[in-house]
Chains A and B, each alone.
Chain A
């Protein structure tokens, strides 16, 4: 079967750094994505890793290790607006773009 594991909740203070981990088991693997969802809103795309290593986009970075079936999202200089749910997702097919999502990590940023 296919499964993704990520922590259900993470709490951090404003200005800090937080790492959200994701481990996966899938029949095929074509990349790991991260999405942000504010309460009541739609998920929005943050990043995508197809190859091992670190991808940086502003305050957010995403890392992938295919040999360990593991990735993480790193958020730096946390701001109150970063309080949201974060989902990792794996693409398990080369043709359809179909994504399987983890259950999400709720990040609470405190002042």
Chain B
């Protein structure tokens, strides 16, 4: 099993450019999440999708949009990138009830906005 696959692994954007981060899981999980990780800030939730067809804002949603394309795929879009969005982005998935089964994380996308 591949688990959670994120693409791309690295990306450099110019301020104002747009891009979509892709995430796919093959574990038949219902819930999917996007986090960003900055030095000393831990993991902060951007958006999540508790089940196919639903999405909700997390702690830091401004500047981002998401699409739950189907049960497997959950994409994160930056419409107009800003230097403050330079970060490592992690996608994760879990069983519907989450905690007891744990999250499975992708390997991350390292994004630099210049």
Contacts and interface: CB of A to CB of B under 8 A. Distances in A.
Which applies to chain B's interface (DSSP): helix, strand, loop or mixed? Answer: loop
Interface string A72-111: 0000000000000001010100111111111110000000
A98 B102 contact: no
Contacts of A71: none
A45 B43 contact: no
B19 to A, nearest CB: 20
Contacts of B33: 98-99
Contact of A48 (B50, B100, B104, B107): B100
Contacts, number: 71
Interface of A is mostly: loop
A99 B56 contact: no
B102 A48 contact: yes
Interface residues of B, number: 29
B50 A102 contact: no
Given A45-B102, A45-B103, A101 B42 contact: yes
The 8 residue pairs across chains A and B that have the minimum distance between CB atoms: A97-B98, A45-B102, A103-B42, A31-B99, A91-B99, A42-B105, A101-B43, A96-B50
Interface of A: 8, 30-31, 33, 35, 41-45, 48, 50, 87, 89, 91, 94-104
Given A91-B99, A97-B98, A104-B42, 13 more contacts: A35-B102, A41-B107, A45-B102, A45-B104, A50-B99, A89-B43, A96-B98, A97-B31, A97-B50, A97-B97, A99-B98, A101-B35, A101-B44
